[in-house]
Structure 1
Amino acid sequence: MPSGLGSRARELSLPYYEDALPAHDIFHAKRVHDVALQLADQHPDSVDREVLAAAAWFHDIGRPLERVGEIDDHDEWAASEATALLQTEDVATDRLAAVRHSLRAHSIRANSPEPVTIEAKLLFDADKLDAAGAVGLVRLACIVGERSGRTGEQYAIIDDASTLGGDHPELPDIDLIREWTRERLDSLYTEPGRHLGESRWGFMQTFFDQFAHETDAGTGN
């Protein structure tokens, strides 16, 4: 192929992100790409960086279609779509299989297969790390907003609804963000990923403390 697998995957993936919402757009894919390669640099095992880069660019190309209900599983769809695209690019069969596995195994969903290759584990970790730290806070807030107000669902609750009095069982979004992040950080596979995750979690803890301070009615702030 005329250019590296990772570079070509970037070019091929760009049109798929045109209708993406902010939490899963091309900038998310780029951050996942960059962090995945950063983790690869710190990992003791040999990593096929081109496979990892390609999988990072492709990993969320199905999100826009999943969002509008045209597909059910963006992982499986991306794996099939990326394979079809790369088969026309003279990519070796073993690399095609490696990219496909990484895409199928990158989600935290219960029905997702376990990542078994180092490239799949690094992609998984990099994707989950984009839900931690300063960027993670913004991304998860975007996701809360995306899901807010859908048919049969309630609008976003930033603060604790119980402070209004009466029966308000809704969990405030800040608690959801804390739970979502911790769930992802607890699922990481690699030591470099866990190390970066705990650093980002430390920042989030400071944020959560400040959030609680600002929303405490007794502080007067």
Structure 2
Amino acid sequence: MVTETTQDHLEQVIQIAKGFYARKDRAHDLEHALRVREWCIKLAGAEGADVTVVELAALLHDIGRSGAVEKTHAESSAGLAVNILRKTGYSEEIIIKVKEAIIAHSREAGYEPETLEAKILYDADKLDFVGAIGLGRLFTLGGVQGWPLIGETSCESFYQDKIRGYHEHLFTKTASTFFEPLFKFMEEFWRELHTETI
């Protein structure tokens, strides 16, 4: 049950997160975090996870992406999230679960998602990188990085090396069900692109 106090705390977190995301690249901005939040809510409902934990983890999972003080953006985001959640009045139990989920949402830190909430955040983050939105994010990221469309170190090579393998590592059946049609759309896009390439 969402109480008025809970909603106030959540709104405070969103407002604080907004400031962090204003400094991020457009592929990892507040809009991305809000979409991941929606995926998390869907997955949590189907899988029986703690909605509060996944919602907070989704909102804060990329806040440490630029200017990371830790080894990885996931670790930096987790550290910042702990401070924000303490200031906004969340319990230590929720804070620990959110931290665990954020640290494990990216494999770059060497952490594997172990809790159901961590698995859901991981899956939700990957779902936002497939389908039409995924392509939009990929090209936005490519623009920031200066990547060409195809060839070596390109949007296509990033897709082949990273995004294409996401379905092998999804943790929940619900995420896999959502993933498949979005992935097929992307595969078809790249096939079409190559038929048009001169």
Q: TM-score, normalised by structure 2?
A: 0.89
Q: Cα deviations across residues 119-164 of structure 1 (Å, max 9, x unaligned)?
A: 111110010111111111111122222222xxxxxxx23244xxxx
In structure 1, how many angstroms separate the alpha carbons of the residues matched to 2:121 and 2:166?
13
Question: What residue is the counterpart of 1:119 in the other structure?
Answer: 117
1:56 aligns with 58
3-state SS, counterpart of residue 5 of structure 2: coil
Aligned to 1:151: none
| Distance (Å, rounded) in 1 between the aligned partners of 2:92 and 2:49 | 17
Q: Distance in 1 between matches of 2:70 and 2:104?
A: 17
1:80·1:100 contact (CA, 8 Å) conserved in 2?
Answer: yes
2:183 to 187, 195, 201: 201
Q: 2:160 aligns with which of 178, 192, 199?
A: 178
Q: Distance in 2 between matches of 1:123 and 1:159?
A: 30
- Number of the residue aligned with 1:137: 135
Matches of 1:171 and 1:78, distance apart in 2? 27
**Aligned twin of 2:173:** 191
Give the equivalent residue in structure 1 for 2:80. Answer: 81
Q: Runs in 1 of length 4+ with deviation above 4 angstroms?
A: none
Instruction: Give the CA deviation at 1:108.
Output: 2.8
Structure 2 equivalent of residue 152 of structure 1 = none
1:158 pairs with 2:149: yes
1:6, 1:50 within 8 Å by CA — same for their partners in 2? no
Aligned pairs for 1:30-109 (under 5 A) are 30-43=34-47, 46-66=48-68, 72-109=71-108
Larger Rg: 1
Kept in 1, the 8 Å contact 2:138–2:155? The answer is no
- Structure 2: tracts of 5 or more residues without a match: none
Q: CA RMSD in A?
A: 1.9
Q: How many residues align?
A: 194
**Structure 1 unmatched ranges of 5 or more:** 149-155, 161-169
Letter in 1 for 2:33: A
| TM-score (ref. length: structure 1) | 0.80
Conservation of the 8 A alpha-carbon contact between 1:51 and 1:95:
yes
